[in-house]
Amino acid sequence: MELTLAIAIGVLTGSGVWLILRPRTYQLVIGLSLLSYAVNLFIVSMGRLRFGAAPVLGPDGIGNPADYADPVPQALVLTAIVIGFATTALLLVVLIAARGLTGSDHVDGRESR
Amino acid sequence: MDWMKHLLVVPVLLPLLTGASLLLIDEIRHTAKAAVSLASSVLFVVTALALMQMADSGTAGSEALSLSYAVASWPAPFAIVLVLDRLSALMLAVASILALAALIYSMARWHRAGPHFHSLFQFLLMGLAGAFLTGDLFNLFVFFEVTLAASYGLLLHGSGAFRVRSGLHYIAINLAASLLFLIGVSIVYGVTGTLNMADLAARLPNVPSENRMLLEAGAGLLGVAFLVKAGMWPLGFWLPSAYVAAAAPVSAVFVVLTKVGVYVVLRLSLLLFGSTSGELTNFGGTVLMWGGLATLAFATSGILASQALGRLAAYSVLVSSGTLLATVGLGDVPVISGALFYLVISSFTTAALFMLIELVERAREPGADLLAVTIEVYGEDGEETQEKEDEQVGVIMPGALAVLGVCFGCIALLLAGLPPLSGFIAKFAMLAGMLNMDGLGSSAEIAPRVWLLFALIILSGLAALVAMMRSGIRIFWAPLEAVVPRVLVVEVAPVVGLLALCLLLTVKGGAMINYTDAAARSLHDPSGYIQGVLEPVPLGSAAR
């Protein structure tokens, strides 16, 4: 499981970094999205990988904390997803505005010679 | 005085509520919107000054006073806290005053140039206040994002191809930096199990040595994210074009954004990697020092190479960042104290310069001072002057050119750090601190890198003076055709106000230095901060 997750994060990050270095605005958006997926997975993994453990305490009180998954990274991921979603949407709007104003989908607004 | 403790949450809640309620007012009623926004900003300044008073009230015994406010009444390491100490109160006051000035300036014209200017402005204030006050790393991320999201909107305010293109670069850079921020935060959490800054500082010395490298990697990534915001070389190439592209009041308030990066670096490096943190002591200090020096050198040559005033102002922002980062890397009490004073002065000055530039440019042919190379960057200027011609309501300033000239001269003196204005006092305090690290008259050797910083700070002042004089002569003394700009009182007032404040700080320099001294001392002794957060005393007994 650790290996799968590590490879997934690695592949996502690698593709993301390659894409944000590309000259097209669409590639930039996809690259940033892939990077944010990688980062979200990474945050979850920082709370240690656990199976079948709930992050929320049951109605019968605390019990043994070791039986539960760490809820903090999950809360962080939730916030990061929401913020990432909002900023990506904003970036898309700017991308379309730039396309309309400059007539090019190059990040500099004109083709490099 | 039980209600006083709730004052701490006001800087976050007030702009949030104002910004949200402004959304409900129709765009057509921009006078009503402006009035609400202005009232809220005035209240914000008053709150910030009251908080500054509060942070400074424990002068006698408790040097390292810090007040914490548990937002949901949960105790500190488990829930969100806001923390007030001298540094955050000072930053808050600077941000609020700059914001008020920029807002008044925007009333002349800019606030009608696009939708939701006032809401975005208030959300920006909320994010800034939160970033300065929060005592929690992840909340810092959230407030950073609020600030940035609002700043994206403000940067695009007024639209135009140049703004949208620089906005695209600005957003992409900041999104990438935010992702690094998240990676850093999660590594730090994974190693230490806490996100509360004070708790983190208390736990860091006990991190087992096999995890230290991971922790350093996390802290380094966090640092990169902040340094992108602060514009350290080579992470700050986005800054000049973004700041030039933004509308004048927006770039004036953006001056605070770079200071947020500097603030966080200063706070975290002294809190987490101060003298008490064992092997991690002064982690990153060398990088900050050399990075700051490189920024300073880069920005100094940038100032000299600028043909347009806007770029000159943008590079002045970088000079200020570079100076501050290098002094943070140096990290001694007297230097930090001078640097804080310098931070206040340089923020006010560069913001005033950004606003003044737009007024001065009105007197001139668009692109008059540009060589052919940079004309394409300013290609859109033609449209903007068209916009300026239409409706201008308000009192037109008499003797505009004289007032603008005096303001320009004051800004040049402040940027260069020449007497008699307070820029001189700030630089003098920093340089004196560098020469007398352990107090006056000590025989300690001064390291070569300190000499280098010393020389660069003086050189950057000289460069600012040369560049400002060059433009000043061209604008005020030798214009090709003298056009008296139509300038409104409401546009000159904030510029004059900010400069008057700098003048006041010259007269009240002693009081200010006392304050920054106390702030720097408490930064160097983080135990007070940690105690203030983890074992809060009821506010009444702490403050009085």
Q: Is the pLDDT of residue B375 over 80?
A: no
pLDDT band at B401 (very low <50, low <70, confident <90, very high): confident
Domain-located, residue A94:
yes
pLDDT at res. A36: 92
Q: What is the mean pLDDT of residues B417-433?
A: 86
Sequence letter at residue B77: P
Q: Do A101 and B161 touch (CB under 8 A)?
A: yes
- pLDDT, tens digit (0-9, with 9 covering 90-100), for A97-112: 888 888 888 888 777 7
Q: Cα–Cα distances in Å, from B188 out to B202, B308, B354?
A: 14, 43, 38
- Alpha-carbon gap, residue B108 to B462, rounded angstroms: 34
**When comparing pLDDT for A17 and B529, which is higher?**
A17
Q: How far is A17 from chain B (nearest CA, A)?
A: 10
Domain-located, residue A62:
no
**When comparing pLDDT for B530 and B143, which is higher?**
B143
Domain-located, residue B204:
yes
Domain-located, residue A60:
no
**Selection from A43-57, B202-216, B391-405, B468-482 with the highest mean pLDDT:** B202-216
Smallest Cβ distance to A46: which of B138, B141, B189?
A: B189
Neighbouring residues of B245: CB distance < 8 A, sequence distance ≥ 6: B155, B162, B163, B165, B166, B167
Give the up-direction half-sphere exposure of residue B68: CA atoms within 13 A in the CB hemisphere.
27
Smallest Cβ distance to B167: which of A72, A87, A94?
A: A94
pLDDT at res. B52: 86
SS3 B160: coil
pLDDT at res. B365: 55
pLDDT at res. B544: 33
pLDDT at res. B396: 64
Sequence letter at residue A67: D
Q: Write the CATH number for A76.
A: 1.10.287
Domain-located, residue B374:
no
Q: Is the pLDDT of residue B59 over 70?
A: no
Q: How far is A93 from chain B (nearest CA, A)?
A: 10
Q: Is the pLDDT of residue B397 over 80?
A: no
Domain-located, residue B382:
no
pLDDT at res. B374: 44
Q: Is the pLDDT of residue B385 over 50?
A: no
Residues shown for chain B: 544
- Alpha-carbon gap, residue B418 to B421, rounded angstroms: 7
pLDDT band at B395 (very low <50, low <70, confident <90, very high): low
Which of B48, B49, B50, B40 minimizes the C-alpha distance to B15? Answer: B40
Q: What is the average pLDDT score of chain A?
A: 86
| Structural domain boundaries, residue B49 | 2-364+395-537
Q: Cα–Cα distances in Å, from B40 out to A27, B121, B184, B225?
A: 41, 11, 35, 31
- Asked if B218 and B195 touch (Cβ cutoff 8 Å), the reply is no
Structural domain count, chain B: 1
pLDDT at res. B138: 87
Angle between helical axes of B30-55 and B117-133 (0-180°, round to 10): 10
- Alpha-carbon gap, residue B391 to B110, rounded angstroms: 12
Q: Is the pLDDT of residue B444 over 70?
A: no
Domain-located, residue A95:
yes
Q: How far is B123 from chain A (nearest CA, A)?
A: 15
pLDDT band at B278 (very low <50, low <70, confident <90, very high): low
Give the up-direction half-sphere exposure of residue B326: CA atoms within 13 A in the CB hemisphere.
28
Domain-located, residue B431:
yes
Which of B196, B292, B380, B363 minimizes the C-alpha distance to A109? Answer: B380
Alpha helices for B285-364 (secondary structure H):
285-305, 309-330, 333-361
Domain-located, residue B105:
yes
Tell me which chain A residues have a C-beta less than 8 angstroms from the C-beta of B195: 72
Domain-located, residue A109:
no
Q: Is the pLDDT of residue B270 over 90?
A: no
Q: What is the mean pLDDT of residues A42-60?
A: 80
Smallest Cβ distance to A101: which of B164, B176, B186?
A: B164
Q: Do B159 and A35 touch (CB under 8 A)?
A: no
**When comparing pLDDT for B530 and B409, which is higher?**
B409
- pLDDT, tens digit (0-9, with 9 covering 90-100), for B302-344: 999 888 888 889 999 999 999 999 988 887 888 888 899 999 9
Q: What is the ipTM of this complex?
A: 0.92
pLDDT at res. B64: 46
SS3 B394: coil
Domain-located, residue B116:
yes
Q: What is the mean pLDDT of residues B129-135?
A: 90
Q: Is the pLDDT of residue A44 over 60?
A: yes
DSSP states of chain A: -HHHHHHHHHHHHHHHHHHHTSSBHHHHHHHHHHHHHHHHHHHHHHT---SS--SS--TT----GGGS--HHHHHHHHHHHHHHHHHHHHHHHHHHHHHHHHS--BTTSS---
Radius of gyration of chain A (CA): 19
**C-alpha B514: how far from chain center:** 21
- Alpha-carbon gap, residue A25 to A30, rounded angstroms: 9
Kind plus residue range of the DSSP H or E element containing B83: strand B81-84
Q: What is the mean pLDDT of residues B282-296?
A: 86
Residue B79 has what DSSP assignment? S
pLDDT at res. B101: 92
Tell whether A46 is within 8 A of chain B (Cβ). Answer: yes
**C-alpha B190: how far from chain center:** 31
Structural domain count, chain A: 1
| Structural domain boundaries, residue A11 | 2-50+69-102
- pLDDT, tens digit (0-9, with 9 covering 90-100), for B14-46: 999 998 988 888 878 888 888 888 999 999 999
Domain-located, residue A112:
no
Test the A interface: residue of B134, B163, B166, B168 with most A CBs within 10 Å: B168
Q: Which residues of B123-137 are buried (b: 16+ CB within 10 A; e: fewer)?
A: bbbbbbbbbbbbbbb
